[in-house]
Structure 1
Amino acid sequence: MAASRRRASMTDPILVLGGGPAGGAVALGLAKLGFTVAVVATPRPFRAMEGVSERVVEGLRNVGFRYALEALPAPTPRMASWNGTAATANTERLVDREQLDAGILQDLQAASIRVITGRVSKVEEHNHGFDVYLKGQSEPLTTSFLVEARGRSAPSASLPRKRGPETVSLLQYWQGAPIAPCSAAASFTEGWAWMAAGADGTRYLQLTFDVASKTLPEKSLLVAHCNQILLSLPQAQHFTQDAEPTGELHARTSTPILCEQAVGERWIRVGDAAMAVDPLSGNGIFQSLSSALQAPAVINTLINKPENAALAQQFYQQRVDHLFHRFARIGRDFYALEAQWPTQPFWQQRACWPDTAPLHQIADPSSIEVVMMPVVKGGFIELAEVVTTNDQPLGIWHLNGQPLAPIAKALAQRKSHESSEACFTRVLGMPAKAAAQWALWASQNGWVTE
């Protein structure tokens, strides 16, 4: 950004484009830090149901959502049929996204955050900040700091992006008599299916394909093609029996996308606008919250401690990159479990992308280092001593209030044949009980080999 451009301040309203989990979490976090915030919320263009895990529920609770949590139903069974084996995987909560988004907006309004309903048509950047135009309105909304949280639909803004295998998900509704809510995932030759039944009898049947697949017909024939696949899947029978397709079909990109520049001096991208993962991982809302939880401290630093702007940008981009590759590897390993069609392009590409690096590494005590890295401290991004290892490259700052750098430094001074417990007592003056607890933790996490 040019030096002549005016920086944002605490009194300038921060504008968040997007009222989903990521945008809502950032808005609530900024309000808690004392910022004035406004959120532009765009109604969903079509109905959607999404399966969420219990850690998503915990993430929403940690953000401070209340009404959004009331939109979550009880957990329901989820079946999985993969590599020729069928099993009850676990449970998930089948969330109506319209209800969840409405709850999020209620939470924002309860926090005195202005909610503006509309669809963004254009964003222009000027020396004073940004002008945001909404469809049907001639006067723009102005802001000196912009949060892009419109998910996958956010414009690329000509920013460098990394893309995974090009993927499309085709969602179709079927309607039948009410049945007990449940969901299922099943693999087939050309891709995989996610199926869910709502209590009102609506069935959400989604098929995911490779975009370059030669088996996909022209647009006018897609509905018939999807129906043919669904009716051939034994796992889909429970969802299609005594039900009829409505004829509505919605195509959504499911391509994993990483924005390689997710933050600037006066703007930041959060949630799927920063990194969007393959829906197979089942972590969409969770990963959105992961980046959104860190964004308020980054924004606070950019505005109120501009001398640390580069540090804040480094902190945020490293974590976005790390999350993206972590979730990508989760998807890769799950795709690799499906071995029935190893030569099919869909499975062949996804079983080896993004790389061959293991999802988890066995901790190596020799890799432990104490280094200075950016951390969230007091609502800002600041440098602190953290401990990095081969399996924790971004470092760990503290655990339950205990900084870990002194623990690592003490272990580096451990004498031959000295126990970790004795080392902590000798070097750090820890009481016996605390020394024993940290010795156990160090052993369980691979920091020592007794």
Structure 2
Amino acid sequence: MTSTDHVANGHNKPSGSSARQLAAASIGNAAEWYDWYAYSFLAVYIADQVFPKSASNSLVPLLSTFAVFAVGFFMRPVGGLLMGAVADRHGRRAALTATILLMGAGSLLVALTPTYHAVGVLAPIVLVVARLVQGLSVGGEFAASTTFLVESAGPGRRGLFSSFQYISTTIGQLIASGVAALLVFLLTNDRMNEWGWRVPFLIGALISLVGLWIRRGAHETRPAEQRGGARPGLFEALRRHPRGSLLICGITTGGTIAYYTWTTYLPTFAQVNADFDKGDALVVSTISLAFFALLQPLGGMLSDRIGRKPLLLFFAIGFAALVVPLLDSVTDAFVSLLLVQCAGMVLLTGYTSVAAAVNAEIFPARVRAAGIGFPYSLTVALFGGTAPYVGTWFKEAGHAGGFAWYVAGLCLVSACFYLVLPETAKRPLKG
């Protein structure tokens, strides 16, 4: 039996260096979330050039809406299913190569998107296509990199390796924030509108090329005995492992609403509900994200010692009990938001640091990537991606406090799943 076979079953380290395996899995996550947040930070400049309010064609605002929603709510589950199937049929490296090429292509296409003034309605169509490509890669990247990360870990290290999923995600966010802020600081508003907004996406394409080079040197973790046999069907994981698919949904529901609330919506919540300064909110968000990244390996290593369930229950019960008082305590004071955001990050780490390991430990290797990718991405689309909209809806309906109870309720739903989840930290991965 080769060293790669041992890896897939959790019995040994990969034949390549652990650092190379971690870098290969993490670079795509970092690139993906760099692109995602770069688009968010620079959306106002993109909108002026691609979706101008003065456009006479009625398709323009429609395409603007489609560009925002299509990626988050449609292409992620599709990407999770398709790229997960590629990983299960052709190997994890093949899927990792495909997702990072999609990332680079989508980022480059955004950078080269013509203006509405130059080509008319073709401009928003090009941008929509670019975002659809990126959305496909988002769902596929999680499925492939999660599987690859956990299968690359040696015995007693799956939790630690799992934590790099969110370390790399956070790094991508921080780099995007830094690049956007630096460009806004260095360039005039006219230059930002003219060409500055394109620079981060060119950088994203370059990051993808670096990631492609790193991934080419990574070692395959798919079990060798499965490489020449019958390939799994596209929906085999759903058909043969419905309980596992349901578990993924239940595990993810509370985690994704809490994650998007605390990392994406909380600064907006503070601005809308406590008149918090916008600039200070971005500073608080940056500090808390850096703190969050530092917590991840600690949570992963702790789970390797005491198990996954204690951390998951710490997250779910803690968040359900504290999210209402935490959000109620947000004021317009800098320290107030910082303490609330960091406290939430501590609780959230109970989920994020072990999510990849827990998901991978549910399915056998034959359908692991597709088994994770589709139900996870679908749940994120339903509950995570909609968090800002639901929060805004509660505010507009005159019940701003209702959003916290909504988050608490979903965390309790996940807590029920965590209670019945078998403890898998000390077990070998299913072959």
Normalising by structure 1, what TM-score? Answer: 0.29
More helix by percentage: 2
Higher relative contact order (CA 8 A, sep 6+): 2
**Rg bigger for which structure?**
1
More strand by percentage: 1
Normalising by structure 2, what TM-score? Answer: 0.30
